[in-house]
C-alpha cells in the first residue's frame, strides 16, 4: 500500500501556494470533489495558503470546481495557455496562444509521420474538430467539423486565439505517439498528454503548466520553494519539477512518479487532501513550538 505521505518530500520553505491538477488528482474518477477535499481546500485558504487549479481543461469545463472557489478564484487552464477567473464564469485574464501558422505546421508534420492522426482545435471561443476526431462530450452549439487545415486557415473560425491543438491516433500506443510527436515537431511547439489514451495536447513553444504557474507566482512574490504541487500525468511533469515540493498521486504515470519529490495516495483516496491536512498540522505545530520558545 502506498504511504499517505512519502517522507522524501520535506518542505524547503513554508508553503504559500498549492497548485493542483484536476482529473486524476483533485477529482475522483467520477469527477466529483469529495467533502474532505472541499474542507481541506477551504482550510488552506483560511490559513493564508493560495490554491491554484492547474489543468489541461478549457475554462468551459471548470464547472467541476467552480463551486469550491475560495479566496481568489483563479485557474490555469489548457495546460498553461490561459489564466481564467472562475468567479466571473471563466473570464480569460491572460492567454498564451499557439500561433495558427505553427499549428498548421504541426498538423502537416503529424499527417506525414503518423498517417491517420485526427485533430481538434481548442480556441478561446470554443472547440472545433475533424469528422474522425473522437469527441469526449456532446458538441457545443457553434462547433464546426472540417479538416484541421481548413479550420486553421479560416479567419472566422480562428479569430479567437488558438489555445491548443489536440491530436488523436487510434492505432498507436499513447506513450509511443507522444514520443513520435515530440520528435516530429521538435521545438515548433510543446507536446504533452493528460489522457490515458492516444490523445496529445499541443501548445505554443515553451507554454506549459509550469511556465504559466511560474509567472503567476512571480506576480505574487511567491517563489518555487513556497509552492506545493500535485499531479498524475505527463502534462504535470514540468510543474512538479518546478515546484519546491511536489507529489505524484498513487495512480500517477511513471514519468510523474520520477519527476515528483514525494508521493501521496490515489485521487479516489483524497491524496491532495491528505497532504494539505498534514501541511496545516505541521504549520500549527511549528506555531505552537514558536510560542513555547518565545
Who contacts 111 (Cβ-Cβ below 8 Å, separation ≥6)?
117
Give the bridge partners for 199, in sequence order: 168
- Distance from C-alpha of 277 to C-alpha of 272, rounded to nearest angstrom: 9
pLDDT at residue number 264: 98
Q: Strands of 74-77's sheet, edge to edge?
A: 91-95, 82-85, 74-77, 50-54, 17-20, 227-231, 245-248, 262-263
d(CA 142, CA 102): 24
Closest to 41 measured CA to CA, from 72, 14, 77: 72
In the chain, which stretches have pLDDT less than 70? 1-10, 68-72, 137-139, 141, 288-294
54 membership: H or E segment, kind and range: strand 50-54
pLDDT tens for residues 215-270? 999 999 999 999 999 999 999 999 999 999 999 999 999 999 999 999 999 999 99
Is 178:235 a contact under the CB 8 Å cutoff?
A: no
Cα 71 from Cα 115, distance rounded (Å): 47
CB burial of 123-132 (b: ≥16 within 10 Å; e: otherwise) equals bbebbbbbee
Distance CA 165, CA 123 (A): 9
Residue 138 has a pLDDT of 61
Instruction: Give the separation between CA 251 and CA 186, rounded to whole angstroms.
Output: 29
Domains of the chain: 17-95+208-293 (3.40.50.1000), 100-203 (3.30.1240.10)
Q: What is the pLDDT of residue 157?
A: 84
Helices (H), the chain: 35-46, 63-66, 100-113, 148-152, 174-185, 209-219, 237-242, 254-259, 271-293
CB-count exposure of residue 94 (10 Å: 0-12, 13-18, 19+): middle
Residue 59 backbone phi and psi in degrees, to 5: -60, -35
pLDDT digits (tens, 9 = 90+) for 144-168: 999 999 999 999 888 899 999 999 9
H/E/C letters for each residue in 80-149? HCEEEEHHHCCEEEEECCCCHHHHHHHHHHHHHHCCCCEEEEEECCEEEECCCCCCCCCCCCCCCECCHH
Q: What pLDDT, on the 0 to 100 scale, is given for residue 294?
A: 54
Q: Coil, strand, or helix at residue 267?
A: helix
Residues in the chain: 294
Cα angle 33-37-42, degrees, rounded to a multiple of 5 = 115
What local confidence, expressed as pLDDT, does residue 8 receive?
Answer: 44
Least Cα distance to 226 among 246, 243, 241 occurs for: 243
Residues 218 and 190 sit within 8 Å (Cβ to Cβ): no
Residues 6 or more apart from 149 whose CB is under 8 A from it? 104, 107, 108
For residue 9, what pLDDT is reported?
A: 44
Amino acid at each position: 500500500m502506498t504511504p499517505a505521505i512519502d517522507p522524501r518530500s520535506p518542505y524547503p520553505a513554508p508553503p504559500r501556494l498549492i497548485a493542483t491538477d484536476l482529473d486524476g488528482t483533485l477529482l475522483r474518477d467520477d469527477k466529483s470533489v469529495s467533502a474532505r477535499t472541499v474542507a481541506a481546500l477551504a482550510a488552506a485558504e483560511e490559513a493564508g495558503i493560495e490554491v491554484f487549479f492547474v489543468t489541461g481543461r478549457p475554462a468551459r469545463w471548470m464547472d467541476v470546481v467552480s463551486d469550491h472557489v475560495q479566496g481568489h478564484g483563479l485557474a490555469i487552464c489548457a495546460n498553461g495557455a490561459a489564466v481564467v477567473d472562475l468567479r466571473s464564469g471563466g473570464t480569460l485574464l491572460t492567454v498564451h496562444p499557439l500561433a495558427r501558422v505553427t499549428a498548421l505546421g504541426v498538423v502537416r508534420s503529424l499527417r506525414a509521420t503518423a498517417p491517420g492522426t485526427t485533430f481538434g482545435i481548442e480556441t478561446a471561443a470554443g472547440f472545433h474538430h475533424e469528422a474522425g476526431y473522437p469527441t469526449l462530450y456532446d458538441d457545443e452549439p457553434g462547433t464546426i467539423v472540417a479538416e484541421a487545415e481548413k479550420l486553421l486557415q479560416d479567419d472566422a473560425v480562428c479569430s479567437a486565439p488558438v489555445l491548443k491543438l489536440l491530436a488523436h491516433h487510434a492505432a498507436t500506443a499513447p506513450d509511443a505517439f507522444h514520443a513520435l510527436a515530440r520528435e516530429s515537431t521538435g521545438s515548433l511547439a510543446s507536446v504533452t498528454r493528460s489522457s490515458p489514451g492516444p490523445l496529445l495536447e499541443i501548445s505554443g513553444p515553451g507554454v506549459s503548466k509550469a511556465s504559466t504557474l511560474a509567472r503567476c507566482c512571480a506576480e505574487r512574490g511567491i517563489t518555487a520553494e513556497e509552492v506545493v504541487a500535485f499531479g498524475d500525468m505527463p502534462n504535470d511533469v514540468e510543474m512538479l519539477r518546478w515546484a519546491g515540493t511536489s507529489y505524484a498521486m498513487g495512480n500517477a504515470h511513471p514519468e510523474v512518479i520520477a519527476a515528483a519529490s514525494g508521493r501521496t495516495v490515489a485521487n479516489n483516496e483524497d491524496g491532495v487532501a491528505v497532504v494539505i491536512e498534514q501541511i496545516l498540522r505541521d504549520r500549527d505545530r511549528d506555531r505552537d513550538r514558536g510560542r513555547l520558545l518565545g
